Structure 1
Amino acid sequence: MIGSSRHLEARDPDLAFSLFPFNVEALINKAERQFAGRASTAELDALVRQAKRLLAFSAGDARLYSLIGEAQRRSGESKPAFQAFERSLALSRTERLALQRVLLQDVENGKPADALERVDALFRRWPEQITAYAPLVSQTFAAPGSYDLLIGRMETAPPWRTTLISRLAANPATLQFSARLVQDLAAGASQPRPGEISNVLNGLINAGQYSLAYRTFLMTLSPKEQGVTGHVHDGRFQLVPSGRPFDWQIRNHPGVMFSSYATDAGKMDKGLTITFLQAPVRGLWVRQLLRLPAGRYSLSMRASAVEVALPKGLSWRIRCVRSNRRLVRLPATEGTYQDIDLSADLTVSPENCPLQVLELETRAIAESWNDRYRGSISFDDIRVVERSS
């Protein structure tokens, strides 16, 4: 009978429990099914009696106390229910149901310090619960006093921090709270991780909150990064690109090698060098998001090349992200040359162009081996500066 009960405890917990009324797993599964439906008062009372009887043989099983507490809570017996939940947590501080119920009670009773301890335990043991409870975190810890508690805990880099920030950034209702978190982490002792910043920036950009996204980018820069920023961030490629929005994003491409001062400091003294390996080039991904206010600007850079052949051209362009309207195109030239100045003017309209992208492109529509790129070309000191009227 015991073996049959164990075999059936997940599939048919009622039958399993009737075959062996000391099967705790069967009772737990039976209770979960009844809680998921609309258990009657009689059914809830029966669960309490059955769980109390099993406590005589499994006194250390915290789940039984949670079962009792949940059945009593659903029956309107709040005080004994939370006594049972507390007893459950005394046996196991990460018992999920008890932890969830006591967490909500701490929030309702205005006990943020206690709630934070419950959140920490819940997210460490049950990380799949972060998505469901992320909105509660933003609501509970938004006030100044409780917010300081949360930031203090997040500065210790708990294992759930990155996931929580990601879930907050993915929800429009909690997006601004996630930006506040990474900004304040950057101002404190524990710098946010690049992935945490990227999640928040991408969430803000996708939501059309471009000003807050750019402000968050600036406020999360390290001191070294702050020294190379401007309308174009790190226009001399002195730092390894982070890949975050508003920083350089450079993807590997067949037939092309990228190198920069940051990655090959012993070999180079300037900018970004692109070496072409006798192959067609289409769909380059060298880009940076810009946040240029409406106005008149000039895009400029220095270029050097060694026997570079560009059969389908190679140009820098700035376009509006939202409308895809091109603002400026600045082509490179073929051949060999050293430190020539390239520049072109552009105007950013106050209408429908709140975010721009600076990117490198070719005119190739399809890859043809008749259009093979070769040689190398370098770009340095890329800038966008305002022009006087």
Structure 2
Amino acid sequence: MSATVASVGVIARPLLVGVLALAGLSQLAAINNDLLAAAGSKHAPARADLQARLAQTPYDQAALRGLASADRQNGNATSAHALLTLAGRLGWRDSQTELMLLEDAVRQGDANAAMRHIDALLRRKPDLAPRLMPALHAMATDKVGRNALLVRLESSPPWRKEFFTRIDFIPAQYQAVHETLLSELAKTGKPAGAEEISSYVAALARQGEVGRARKLWTTLTDTKPGLVLDPEFERFDPGSSVPAPSPFEWNASRLPGTELRITVEAGTPSSRDLVVDTDGSAHGTVLAQALVLKPGRYRLFVATPSTTVLAAGGLKWTVRCLPGSKTISTGGAAVALGWQSDFEVPAMGCAVQRLSLEARRADALTVGEARFEKVWALPLAGSGGPLS
């Protein structure tokens, strides 16, 4: 196999140069060696033996593959391809056949065929994902290869989730390609789900690309942009046992001594209020979301019919800088129809901000119900807005 693969000449399409560069000439050979070892094959059967097997069983896929391999070694590429094509028509479950057909597709610059054989290999041998999935991103740098991959992803193959959630399979130089795939998949009948998007968004955030991560999240999830996302709690589900898929959405902490619920006003199903019940013993974060604001001064507004618990200090809306936990909100005060708090995002050391509702132990006035209709922020004079 190594000699055969090494003899590959000029590749017809740039996308398949990428396949060879990442799946690698030696990588394809290594995969084949692993498959042979798993099958317990040490020596290739003699040609006469293979021909005898075919005479007895004309549809012997392994025998056809063996003859194709022999023809390759002897430089008879046309005969080898014909035999492999016939072997492939007998089924896709023979991984060695699929690997050899993948090599032929690479030689011929056939993106659709290459995608078909990679799909078959990943279905049959999921452990090949670390070797083959980077090649898929390489293929996607070419429009033809990208379209072939999108068609396959739209069919929801069993390896699709891993393709999107195993960020370690995405070479750094192909991050832009991954974003293009997510964007173009959104135009199909099977757009990427929140979990598939969030894995990549979280990876961007960890790399310090927080503004880019937030913008990508809002774009791909069709989220209305704003300094605070989901300000009226339309998507927030306090009863969910699954964490929010993104740090830019509301995340509840299930803090002992508090209970969160959503109420809907009769006759106005679009009006959702977040209700927080507290028994006065709670201490910690009730819910939070990450903001990405430019340096400057801002005003936080909280629409609420009653400010009693906020005024008593039992609950407090807080803005902190990340990394670290420097508090930059100014406490706040009751105003008409709610509560407001001014804060300033410094130019240094505050790339990300954390907006949170905090519970604090206080007096009897903190026991009871707090109802929040909307939470939003506005830049004050001379300030910017979201980095995204």
Same-fold status (TM-score > 0.5):
yes
For 1:149, the aligned partner's letter is A
Give secondary structure in 2 for the equivalent of 1:326: coil
Structure 1: distance between partners of 2:341 and 2:310: 22
Instruction: Classify 1:250/1:47 alpha carbon distance in 2 versus 1 (closer, same or farther; 3 Å).
Output: farther
Map of 2:291 onto structure 1: 290
Structure 1: distance between partners of 2:113 and 2:136: 13
- Asked whether the 8 Å contact 2:332–2:341 carries over to 1, the reply is no
Structure 2: distance between partners of 1:249 and 1:185: 27
Alpha-carbon RMSD across the aligned residues, in angstroms, is 4.1
- CA distances 1:337-376 after superposition (whole Å, capped 9, x unpaired): x975322222223334332221222357xxx9x9997311
Map of 2:190 onto structure 1: 190
Instruction: Classify 1:328/1:101 alpha carbon distance in 2 versus 1 (closer, same or farther; 3 Å).
Output: farther
2:348 pairs with 1:351: yes
Map of 2:374 onto structure 1: 381
For 1:142, the aligned partner's letter is T
Shift of 1:44: 3.9
Give secondary structure in 2 for the equivalent of 1:184: helix
2:37 pairs with 1:33: yes
Question: Whose RCO is larger (CA < 8 A, sep 6+)?
Answer: 2
Map of 1:318 onto structure 2: 319
Shift of 1:384: 1.4
- Asked whether the 8 Å contact 1:103–1:115 carries over to 2, the reply is yes
Structure 2: distance between partners of 1:258 and 1:339: 24
After superposition, where does 1:197-346 map in structure 2 within 5 Å? 197-222=197-222, 225-226=223-224, 229-240=225-236, 243-261=245-263, 269-276=271-278, 278=279, 280-305=281-306, 308=309, 313-328=314-329, 330=331, 340-346=337-343
Structure 2: distance between partners of 1:327 and 1:287: 15
Unaligned runs of 5+ in 2: 1-31, 238-243, 383-388
For 2:246, the aligned partner's letter is R
- Asked whether the 8 Å contact 2:134–2:169 carries over to 1, the reply is no
Which has the larger displacement, 117-126 or 45-54? 45-54
2:144 pairs with 1:151: no
Instruction: Classify 1:326/1:188 alpha carbon distance in 2 versus 1 (closer, same or farther; 3 Å).
Output: farther
Shift of 1:157: 3.6
Shift of 1:299: 1.6
Shift of 1:272: 1.4
Instruction: Classify 1:47/1:296 alpha carbon distance in 2 versus 1 (closer, same or farther; 3 Å).
Output: farther
- Asked whether the 8 Å contact 1:314–1:332 carries over to 2, the reply is no
For 1:217, the aligned partner's letter is W
2:84 pairs with 1:89: no
After superposition, where does 1:15-34 map in structure 2 within 5 Å? 32-33=36-37
Map of 1:16 onto structure 2: none
Give secondary structure in 2 for the equivalent of 1:93: coil
- CA distances 1:260-299 after superposition (whole Å, capped 9, x unpaired): 25799989955311112x4732443511121212222222
Unaligned runs of 5+ in 1: 1-27
Map of 1:102 onto structure 2: 101
- Asked whether the 8 Å contact 1:169–1:200 carries over to 2, the reply is no
Q: Across the two proteins, how many residue pairs are aligned to each other?
A: 343
- Asked whether the 8 Å contact 2:274–2:372 carries over to 1, the reply is yes
- Asked whether the 8 Å contact 1:170–1:203 carries over to 2, the reply is no
For 1:348, the aligned partner's letter is V
Q: Report % sequence identity.
A: 21
Map of 1:360 onto structure 2: 357
Structure 2: distance between partners of 1:374 and 1:198: 36
Structure 2: distance between partners of 1:262 and 1:48: 76
Map of 1:11 onto structure 2: none
For 1:248, the aligned partner's letter is W
Give secondary structure in 1 for the equivalent of 2:373: strand
Give secondary structure in 2 for the equivalent of 1:297: strand
Which has the larger displacement, 211-220 or 120-129? 120-129
- Asked whether the 8 Å contact 1:295–1:349 carries over to 2, the reply is yes
Give secondary structure in 2 for the equivalent of 1:356: strand
Structure 2: distance between partners of 1:182 and 1:134: 15
Map of 1:166 onto structure 2: 165
- What TM-score do the two structures reach when normalised by structure 2? 0.72
